[in-house]
């Protein structure tokens, strides 16, 4: 799948993107700690782990891992993951949107999010959902600014222990 916005191209992840994705992941240390914990996985989040993750996503037809590139230069500036049909909520989910720290605050996240909403709308879904981990205040501001509203509270197993998650929804 490929999504195009004014400045971005979102296209399938391939194994040769791994080094650039590692740069994106390492540029956001606070998100890395929150998302993967401070333990073994954060330490191990290197090329081999990412390659394994990409391969396992390939095996799941409901998962759509994407890289985010600037259209003008083809520079890889982020990555994302969409879930076609969340098994519990029965609507599509944004599993991940992460941009390189150097690119934050330029409106690129907003463009990608609008493309996700258009994709979900065109697929016939009634809503798009995602989860924001407790502690990720900037992501909460980002998504709610785009019109997402809290609809549920859940807990997920993070490496550091159970972590609270707010489920946000944008009706379509
Ligand atoms: C969250 C993220 C995708 C936002 O992308 P971005 O390109 O930086 O955001 P934008 O420039 O499009 O901002 C859109 C709006 O979101 C809000 N926003 C974005 N970043 C913010 C921040 N750090 N603090 C407060 N508000 C913020 C603002 O309201 C902004 O509108 P404005 O530009 O009119 O002020 C990006 O910062 C990121 O990759 N963060 C690390 C990973 C992460 O937390 N992902 C989300 C997981 S749920």
Task: Report angle CA 139, 108, 37 to the nearest 5 degrees.
Answer: 35
Over residues 89-118, the mean pLDDT reads: 97
How many angstroms is it from 138 CA to the middle of ligand 1? 6
In this prediction, what percent of the chain has a pLDDT beyond 90? 70
pLDDT of residue 32: 84
The one-character DSSP state at 38 is S
User: pLDDT by residue (tens digit) across 146-168?
Assistant: 999 999 999 998 777 899 999 99
Question: In whole angstroms, what is the distance from residue 23 CA to residue 84 CA?
Answer: 27
Lowest mean pLDDT among 41-50, 55-64, 89-98, 135-144: 41-50
pLDDT of residue 167: 98
Helix (H/G/I), strand (E/B), else coil: 98: strand
Q: Which atom of ligand 1 is nearest to the CA of 28?
A: 41
pLDDT of residue 46: 62
Over residues 113-119, the mean pLDDT reads: 98
pTM value? 0.93
- Residues whose beta carbon lies within 6 Å of some atom of ligand 1: 28, 31, 97-99, 104-110, 132, 136, 138-139, 141-142, 145
- Measuring from atom 17 of ligand 1, which residue has the nearest CA? 142
Q: Which atom of ligand 1 is nearest to the CA of 108?
A: 7
Give 13 or 169, the one with higher predicted confidence.
Answer: 169
Lowest mean pLDDT among 11-15, 72-76, 118-122, 140-144: 11-15
Q: Which atom of ligand 1 is nearest to the CA of 111?
A: 12
CATH class given for the domain over 3-171: alpha beta
- Measuring from atom 22 of ligand 1, which residue has the nearest CA? 138
User: pLDDT by residue (tens digit) across 23-62?
Assistant: 998 899 888 888 766 555 555 566 676 777 777 777 778 8
* C-alpha pair distances (Å), 164 with each of 33, 41, 131, 133, 156: 15, 19, 10, 6, 6
Q: Which atom of ligand 1 is nearest to the CA of 143?
A: 16
């Amino acid at each position: 799948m490929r999504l195009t916005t004014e400045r971005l191209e979102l296209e399938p992840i391939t194994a040769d993107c791994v080094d650039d994705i590692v740069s994106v992941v390492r540029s956001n240390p606070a998100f890395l700690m929150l998302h993967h914990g401070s333990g073994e996985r954060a330490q191990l989040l290197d090329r081999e782990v990412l390659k394994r993750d990409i391969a396992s996503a390939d095996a799941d037809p409901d998962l759509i891992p994407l890289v985010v590139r600037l259209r003008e230069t083809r520079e890889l500036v982020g990555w994302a993951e969409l879930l076609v049909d969340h098994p519990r909520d029965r609507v599509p989910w944004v599993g991940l949107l992460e941009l390189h720290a150097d690119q934050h605050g330029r409106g690129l996240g907003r463009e990608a999010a609008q493309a996700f909403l258009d994709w979900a709308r065109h697929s016939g879904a009634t809503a798009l959902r995602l989860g924001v981990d407790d502690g990720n205040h900037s992501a909460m501001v980002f998504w709610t600014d785009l019109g997402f509203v809290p609809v549920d509270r859940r807990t997920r197993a993070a490496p550091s222990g159970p972590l609270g998650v707010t489920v946000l929804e944008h009706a379509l």
